Structure 1
Amino acid sequence: MAGRSLLALGALGLVLVAGCSGAGERANTAVGVAEPAQGGSAQQGFSGGPGDAKVPQQKNPGAVVEKGASAPEPASLEARQLIRTARLELSVAKVEEAVRKAQEEAKAAGGFASEENAREQRATLTVRVPADKLDEVLNRLDDLGKVIVREQRSQDVTDALVDTKSRLESQQASVARVRALLERANSVSEIVQVEGELTKRQAELESLQRRLESMSKQVAMATVSVSLVREDQAVAPSGDGFLDALAAGWRAFLSTVNGLLIALGATLPFLVALGIVGALVFLVLRRRKNATAPAEPVATENPVG
């Protein structure tokens, strides 16, 4: 009897263990079914594993980037378009040699000399050099002599260039439309009218093209105005002392007097001619006045009655 009781208890234990393991499998199966549904709904707005749960997908362009997420880098700014000019005045030992060396420096930098006015004591020339080599060229020109004046200026024409390009594209489209209308014109009056409008718009288009080309060249090539003065003719910049101011004032006085004398000498022949003509006119008018003046009446005495 005792052996049968033990067998019965063992069989009952196996049944209970089997029932518990079956319930566990059913629970796991239920959880496994629910998880895909939950994961599917989450993947509509997010991607990645549990560590990426806070990173929103880029499928929604209006999604807000949460704190800690990397924002897109801003677009690089457009390079500014500058028209660069410079003025350089030098005191040199030999003017002709300095002019030749300045031209050589401009050519070596990829530029050229556009204007030149050279004399024995003074010379002026204008050179055009690539804008990115302006500082280098100025430093080399400084070595030609003693620097008296060195100035640089920059004009920002970025907005003007962008506006001109936009207007040019619009004008090109306008000319194309008018040409299409010209091809569809039937009568002579329509052809004449459309051709007149086409000529007007074509002229505006060419004007915009020339303006854009001119500004583009000025941006690409900087302009340097060079003045060369022989050493014994160079005037040093005015100082702050009384003698310097007195010397500068005396030179200005002499220059003014010299200018007045030159002007007087240039106008003196005209003044003499005008004086002679004025004197002749005055004499003629005076004679006419004397000839047309009425004679004075003679007074008569009344007889005594």
Structure 2
Amino acid sequence: MSQRRTLLLVAVVALVALAGCNGAGNAGGSADMERADGGAAVSATAAPEATSSGGSGGSGGDASVQANVQNRALIKTGTVRVEVDDFQRSKSNLTAAVAGYGGFVSDTTQERHGVGNETYTTGRLVLRVPAEDFDALVEDAKAEGDVEVVQTNTEDVTDRLVDLEARLENLRAQRDQLRDLYEQANTTEDVLAVQRELSDVQGEIERLEAQKQSLEDRVAYSTLTVELREPRPTPNRVAPDRWYDTPVLSAFLQSVDGVVVVARALVVGVAYALPYVLAFVLPVALVGGVAYRYRERWLPHQ
């Protein structure tokens, strides 16, 4: 019994070590392939510069570089904010455009706001379209009204996908070997030990497969978030039909405003009149005062 457990433990350890070696080999192979591809691309782009004619060699180098770029896994996302005249009409237009591209609307939000007796609508659409139609959808969104914000982003996830695939291959090989050990186990303890390892490996495989599937889905279908907003209306104050319909507080405040206006008008009127007083009235008053004093002093009293 002890010898069998020892052999089983040695087999599991050897299996893990073998999986690690395979992972390192695959990772190294992937890195070597990427370096080789990169070297080929650099050589292809450098060839036209090295030759003076630049004929067919230059065309071949450009084609290689373009093919290398097209093989990259790119996730495209973007945001467009537009002020539109009619929210519902713009929403219908964009929904139809997405359907025409073979995409779909993944999320929508809509909110109605009130300003006085007027209302306006704002909302957001999350649109998913094939990656090759992303730029066309951005232009469709911009054509709906006055563009306020346009933001796009591209993320290269090629290396992440390559790494996930290499790890999945190693884990699948490890799972197959654990299944063989499970079939060969004779005791309950050995069966449970291998089963635990097999469950852990299977859980890791499912987790990595979900990550890989999510990345591939985001690469295949780009995401554009479109924010639509109708213009905010300006509230209009409606005056009461009769003066006695005015609320008491409003009437008092209006009276206070009237007093302030009258006081200000008086101050402004004094400011306007003061120069005339100084220029005309004051000299006349001074002359009159001097004449009165002269008369009182020099003329005899009757």
TM-score w.r.t. length of structure 2: 0.51
SS of residue matched to 2:68: coil
Query: Which residue of 2 is the match for residue 24 of structure 1?
Result: none
CA distance in 1, matches of 2:220, 2:77: 11
Residue 106 (structure 2) pairs with residue 77 (structure 1): no
Counterpart residue type for residue 91 of structure 1: E
Which deviations, in whole Å up to 9, do the C-alpha atoms of 1:42-96 show, x marking residues without a partner? xxxxxxxxxxxxxxxxxxxxxxxxxxxxx9x897636111111010001100111
Q: How many residues align?
A: 163
Select which of 109, 123, 126 maps to 1:117: 109
Which deviations, in whole Å up to 9, do the C-alpha atoms of 1:113-152 show, x marking residues without a partner? 1111112320111011111110011112222111111110
Residue 134 (structure 2) pairs with residue 134 (structure 1): yes
Query: Which residue of 1 is the match for residue 214 of structure 2?
Result: 214
Within 5 A, what are the aligned runs for 1:90-105?
90-105=82-97
Query: Which residue of 2 is the match for residue 22 of structure 1?
Result: none
Query: Which residue of 2 is the match for residue 190 of structure 1?
Result: 190
Query: Which residue of 1 is the match for residue 170 of structure 2?
Result: 170
Deviation at residue 188 of structure 1 after TM alignment: 1.0
Q: 1:233 to 1:98 in 2, by over 3 A?
A: farther
Flag the structure with higher helix content. Answer: 2
Gaps of 5+ in 1: 1-70, 235-305
**Structure 1: which 4+ aligned runs deviate by more than 2 Å?**
73-78, 231-234
Which deviations, in whole Å up to 9, do the C-alpha atoms of 1:229-259 show, x marking residues without a partner? 103469xxxxxxxxxxxxxxxxxxxxxxxxx
Gaps of 5+ in 2: 1-56, 113-120, 235-302
Q: Greater Rg, structure 1 or structure 2?
A: 1
Deviation at residue 107 of structure 1 after TM alignment: 1.1
Q: 1:233 to 1:188 in 2, by over 3 A?
A: farther
Query: Which residue of 1 is the match for residue 297 of structure 2?
Result: none
Select which of 103, 107, 121 maps to 2:99: 107
Query: Which residue of 2 is the match for residue 159 of structure 1?
Result: 159
Which deviations, in whole Å up to 9, do the C-alpha atoms of 1:1-33 show, x marking residues without a partner? xxxxxxxxxxxxxxxxxxxxxxxxxxxxxxxxx
TM-score w.r.t. length of structure 1: 0.51
Percent sequence identity is 29
